[in-house]
Structure 1
Amino acid sequence: MERVTPEQQGMDAGRLARIGAWMDRYVDARKYPGCSVLVARGGKEVYHHATGLRDIERNLPFERDTVARIYSMTKPVTSVAILMLAERGLFHLDAPVSEFIPAFRDMTCLLPGAVDIGQVKACATPTLHHLLTHTSGLSYPFNPGLLPAVMNDVDILFKPDQGSLEAMANKVADLPLAFEPGARWEYSVSIDILGRVVEVVSGKSLAEFFADEITGPLGMTETAFSVVPQGRDRFAALYTPLAGDAMALNSAQKGAETLRRVDDPQTSPFLEASMHSGGGGLTGTLDDYMKFTEMLRRGGELGARLLSPKTVDFMRRNHLRGDIASMGPASFAEQPMEGMGFGLGGSVVLEPGRTRVPSSVGDFSWGGMASTFFWTDPVLDLSVVFFTQLSPSSSYPARAELKALIHGAVVA
């Protein structure tokens, strides 16, 4: 990506420099171990800053080429994979997931007010569209509710050392849904299930499909489910401010140490991942993910065409009947739900005023549990990627603050 002066792209260099000062404050206050940001406008780089440490215990700097766990920023990649296969006429989005994973036949969902996992009724099978939009009735173990509690008990989280995607998808199908498909919005493992659909339809493992069809063509040579061999000495540690499990949000308690290491980069399961989690398994670098972000901004093409502009436009539209807040969510979220819709694999700003975060209508974004974040802005022609390694991502309001900083630097 060509680097230009901010003024060439209608941005103020002095105002952009506020971002670095803001990041430095987060590191100095021991909120983040280290972090890095990349800002592009009109396909030209206008700002980058990195600060702090990727590994506090070993005193290693957080740099532009640091390899990080991107967790749920994997979801848009898997969603692109599904849309690529749909463009080939291999299925339509209203197809029930049971056409690809037979274990999802004869589904049940919890009765309203159920207090036991056995209190269920028969219901429809979720469609691919339900899965793409988190309206499937699936959930996550860190959400509140009966189904998440059972998922937590049986350890359904698609972690890198949890075996095959096929086996875990079948395990999910053994449980009832939290609600009838389409009734609500609830953040869930649904994109992991779609990762298995990609495998079934393509005849390749999800890792192979990504490498052959997405990361390879885009030149994302540092992005994979297992940390790439050449990136192992640049792999970051993961930290949490919580006293217990960094993802046990239902019982979260702040610890005395704001940066407690919970995954050592030298022994991490991400070094040799057995699970290809389409919902949260990828590791990679800031510049690699900017290539993916730029592909979306450019309408499906960056050196190679993955999707048509019409399909990307379809992906970035709101696919809910209102905003997320109107869909009765009961799940974890680190971003606004009022004024925010949901597309295919990411959120979509419907009304910036209602989100209470400086935005443009049509902003498409998503983040990861380790506080990584990206967005594209079709009005201001922006692409932004932010990396750090702190879980959970709801610890600090960094995403809203970063958007305000960047909007404050746009002067033309």
Structure 2
Amino acid sequence: MMKVSPESVGLSSTRLHRIDKLMQCCIDKGICAGGVAMVARKNKIVYHESFGLMDIKRGKPVQKDTIFRICSMTKPIICVAIMMLYEEGYFQMDTPVSRFVPEFKNMKVIKQINDKDFRLVNIDREITIHDLLVHTSGLSYDIHTEELTYRLNLSKEKFEKEHSIGEFIKILTTLPLAHQPGEKWSYGYSTDVLGYIIEVISQKSLRDFLKQQIFDPLGMVDTDFFVREDKHDRLSELYTFSEEHGFVLVESGVDYRKKPLFCSGGGGVCDFGSGLVSTAEDYIRFAQMLLNKGELDGNRILGRKTVEFMTMNHLSSNLLPMITDKSRPYDYEGYGYGLGWKVLLSSAQAGIIGTNGMYGWGGNARTEFFIDPKEELIALYMTQCIPYQQIKEFQTVVYQALID
């Protein structure tokens, strides 16, 4: 992807460099220690800058090719991979997951009786592939809703040791669902299950499938489930921030400098699960493929109609707005959900400038991307600080730079 002047594709250089000020402000406020931001329009790079530090102790600045843990920005890649198999006819959207993982056949569901008591009931219907793609399966993360305290207590002993992805999925089938399939939108382990289904269908490891079918064709040379030894010095440290101590190094349970047993298709929420690492340059190539309706540099990953299907809203109105935590809902007002990402339905309702139909997602270590098909626009930032906090102003600063 060639770098050109912003004006040549309808953006203002002066306005675009307001991103510089925004990112420095984020560093000053403790939102991140450093990061990379990129913007592309009409298949051309118009902005690519790095900010701050990737290693505070050593005073090491972030570089444009710094490698970041992208956590849940793994999910869109997994969804593209499973849709490649959909195109080959291995399943339909309403195919039961139990066809590939029989243990999902007879799941139980948590039913809350009162504030403290729960009971288990049978599922009304089986979980489908579509449920996994849009997070209506009931395989919710244990951190989001108060009724899942019960489920979390059940899972603690079972998740104590390291597992392969297959072993992990089999454990999930022994835990009750947070709700009936299709009843709610609840963000969670659904994409991990998709990752395992990719292994079952392809008879390859998830890592090998992604490398052969997506990363190599798209030239995503730095994207993997771990960082090779010759690239260790490019991996950013991970931080958290407090007013008392400032930026504090996070001693993560995941060592991204060695090959993991569990390659988490969902992004590594469990301490032993490794989501993907990537660079801004790699991920923008993945995003450009999507904007191009499935193709980049002559390599077709998906068909045009498949990408169109993935990028439309798949949630009915009774499932909107998407809320993951009743006490702290994310900023999903005005958004629907496609097959792997949120989709903007109403810029006015969301309360931020944008284009209806734009789509994208983020990761727990404060990474984010969005794609706007109508404006032929892609933007992303990658930082390395937890817990998740969206830099919502980034979208505003990118859009205000459009001048054509």
TM-score, scaled to structure 2: 0.92
RMSD over aligned Cα atoms:
2.3
Residue aligning to 1:291: 285
1:226 deviates by 1.2
What aligned pairs does 1:175-214 form with structure 2 within 5 A after superposition? 175-214=175-214
Residue aligning to 2:370: 375
What aligned pairs does 1:35-50 form with structure 2 within 5 A after superposition? 35-50=35-50
What aligned pairs does 1:392-411 form with structure 2 within 5 A after superposition? 392-394=387-389, 397-398=390-391, 400-411=392-403
Match of 2:265 among 258, 278, 292: 278
What CA deviation, in whole Å up to 9, does each residue of 1:138-178 have, x standing for no partner?
1112212233553366359999x932000111111101111
For the residues of structure 1 that align with 2:201 and 2:317, how far apart are their CA atoms?
A: 31
Contact 2:139/2:190, CA 8 A, preserved across alignment: yes
1:58 deviates by 1.7
Is there any run of 5+ residues in structure 1 with no aligned partner, and where? 242-253
1:228 deviates by 2.9
Residue aligning to 1:122: 122
Pair 1:134 & 2:135 matched: yes
Aligned-partner residue type, residue 147 of structure 2: L
What aligned pairs does 1:10-409 form with structure 2 within 5 A after superposition? 10-113=10-113, 119-123=119-123, 124-147=125-148, 150-151=151-152, 154-155=155-156, 162-241=162-241, 256-263=244-251, 269-272=255-258, 273-280=260-267, 281-303=275-297, 304-322=299-317, 325-326=320-321, 329-330=324-325, 335-394=330-389, 397-398=390-391, 400-409=392-401
Is there any run of 5+ residues in structure 2 with no aligned partner, and where? 268-274
For the residues of structure 1 that align with 2:62 and 2:254, how far apart are their CA atoms?
A: 18
For the residues of structure 2 that align with 1:142 and 1:329, how far apart are their CA atoms?
A: 9
Cα distance change on mapping 1:157 and 1:51 into 2, 3 Å: farther
What CA deviation, in whole Å up to 9, does each residue of 1:37-79 have, x standing for no partner?
0100011011111110011112111111001100000000000
Cα distance change on mapping 1:311 and 1:384 into 2, 3 Å: same
1:116 deviates by 6.6
Cα distance change on mapping 1:332 and 1:361 into 2, 3 Å: farther
Aligned-partner residue type, residue 271 of structure 1: R
Contact 1:324/1:337, CA 8 A, preserved across alignment: no
For the residues of structure 1 that align with 2:116 and 2:176, how far apart are their CA atoms?
A: 11
For the residues of structure 2 that align with 1:305 and 1:214, how far apart are their CA atoms?
A: 10
TM-score, scaled to structure 1: 0.90
SS at match of 2:256: helix
For the residues of structure 2 that align with 1:207 and 1:74, how far apart are their CA atoms?
A: 12
Cα distance change on mapping 1:324 and 1:18 into 2, 3 Å: farther
Contact 1:339/1:350, CA 8 A, preserved across alignment: yes
Contact 1:117/1:146, CA 8 A, preserved across alignment: no
SS at match of 1:192: helix
Equivalent pairs, count:
394
